[in-house]
Amino acid sequence: MVTLRQARLAGRRPWRMAAAALVAASVLVTAGCSGDKGDSPSWQGGAGGDGKTASESPSPQPTLSTVAVTSPAADAKDVVASTEIKYDSEDAENTSVEVKDADGAEVTGVLDKDEKVFRPAKALGWGKTYTVTVTGTPSGDKGGSASSTFTVMKKPSKLVRVTSFLGDGQTVGVGMPLIVRFGRSVPAKYRGEVQRRMVVTASPVQEGIWHWVSPTEVHYRPKTYWQAHTKILYKVQLAGVPMGDGWYGRTDMTVDIKTGRALVMTVSNKTKKMTVKQDGKVIKTIPVSLGKKSTPSSSGTMVVIEKKAHTVFDTLAELGPEEGYRTKIDYAQRITWSGQFIHAAPWSEGVQGRANVSHGCVNVSMANGKWLFGRTMLGDPITVSGTGDKLKNGNGWTDWNMSWDEYKKGSAI
């Protein structure tokens, strides 16, 4: 009698036999393709037909990353002193760049691995020869190096003077623009490169941009007024930079300044009052008299350009004896080039806060003039509104008289 278990075992045997036959066939086919001498198949780590252990596969040889100096060209002459060193590498992240002069002194600078550019910290020496070495620092199986030599142009006779209106250590108002002037007009096609080499660093960080006021002057302002007590460092690295028609920048320049407290003045023609805020709080309201109808004050945002505790206003030569005048003035603060000031005017104290009688200036009393003069600084902003005349851009430091979008249009980048 056949049990159920025996029947199941008997039913499995044909499958097992078929599998065994398939394996055997596979071995025979493999043996048939192993060579024309009928050698036994050799497996990695196993024995060959002669019973010896098969040799291991050779380890892959290290490959070297390709590096090259792409600019300046090898043995180049008359290279501009402001040149950047450009290179190529398969592994930029692990590539180093070294630049040395003929005496072996190393050139300091900044290596931008994303753009594959080495930017010297200052202009290279006129007429000097330099050697660049680019090295793919070993990382895994990467490595390799390339060298190149070039010579900087001789010092040119045409050099453009570059100056800053502000000097190291100054403290200015929160509306103060950074002002850089050139001794010669900079053609439009060169302004972008010039602007790239003028770098502003502010702490705390604030968004800002350069704006070309004219071919010989460029300003920088943040999107909104500088924050109070901001530390500002701007580097103007233009030595050796081409500036058109065979002219080159003369020198590099660094200026380190800061802003003081945030003092902001606003004047309303409607109320005939000035509101003075410091760090966001109103600290004084001052009655004023603005320009009469024939000589209106300008409406717009200006900043304090200069301060004179005592001066003389003399318009006789300009306006003649009928309209002109020569008057001693106290506590004068210029806000436009055309001659509008904030100043003490004791002769109009009786109408200040009620009527406009000035020649375009913001008149205040002697006491208020002295108080205000003692608290303001260069670059403090003042906005006048509601008069019959609109401030013309360029009539003073009118950087804040433009919207941010309008101001950005003056950038060359």
| Residues marked as catalytic | 343, 361
Q: Which amino acid is at 125?
A: G
Of 263, 267, 301, which Cα lies nearest the Cα of 399? 301
Sign of the CA dihedral with 114 first, then 117, 123, and 124 last: positive
Alpha-carbon gap, residue 166 to 232, rounded angstroms: 11
* The total number of residues written for the chain in this structure: 413
Of 46, 84, 33, which Cα lies nearest the Cα of 240? 84
323 sits in the region (left: phi over 0; alpha: psi -120 to 50; else beta) called: alpha
| Token couple for 55 | 């040799």
Of 333, 327, 326, 330, which Cα lies nearest the Cα of 310? 330
Neighbours of 170 (CB within 10 A): 18
State how far the alpha carbon of 349 is from the alpha carbons of 312, 330, 343, 356, 377, in Å: 19, 14, 12, 11, 24
CB 352 within 8 A of CB 339: no
